[in-house]
Amino acid sequence: MKKTLVLETDYMTLGQFLKEVNVIASGGQAKWYLAENSVFVDGEPENRRGRKLYPGMMIEIPEEGTFFMAKKGNEPIDETE
């Protein structure tokens, strides 16, 4: 499933993103989650919890979905595959 996440700030870290989309329960789990699971940012594997995510980026988490980052003020669009 494709989803849009609207940013309220200029960017969000990957650890904050994982918590926001309910993949992890707390920010402290981000390092462990990224070491054990595949996460792709714009098609490239990523394991840094501090990676900054900006509007226009795509985050793919296998078995969780694909997420598009949007800036506040843009209409979020949710699509199903």
- pLDDT tens track for 25-79: 998 899 999 999 999 999 999 999 999 999 999 999 998 999 999 988 754 455 5
What's the pLDDT score for residue 60?
97
pLDDT digits (tens, 9 = 90+) for 7-22: 999 999 999 999 999 9
Please give the C-alpha separations between residue 33 and each of 49, 63, 65, 75, in angstroms, as whole numbers: 9, 14, 16, 30
pTM: 0.84
Residue 80 forms part of a structural domain: no
Residue 26 forms part of a structural domain: yes
What's the pLDDT score for residue 74?
58
Residue 77 forms part of a structural domain: no
Cβ contact 81:1 at 8 Å: yes
Residue 63 forms part of a structural domain: yes
Residue 78 forms part of a structural domain: no
What's the pLDDT score for residue 2?
83
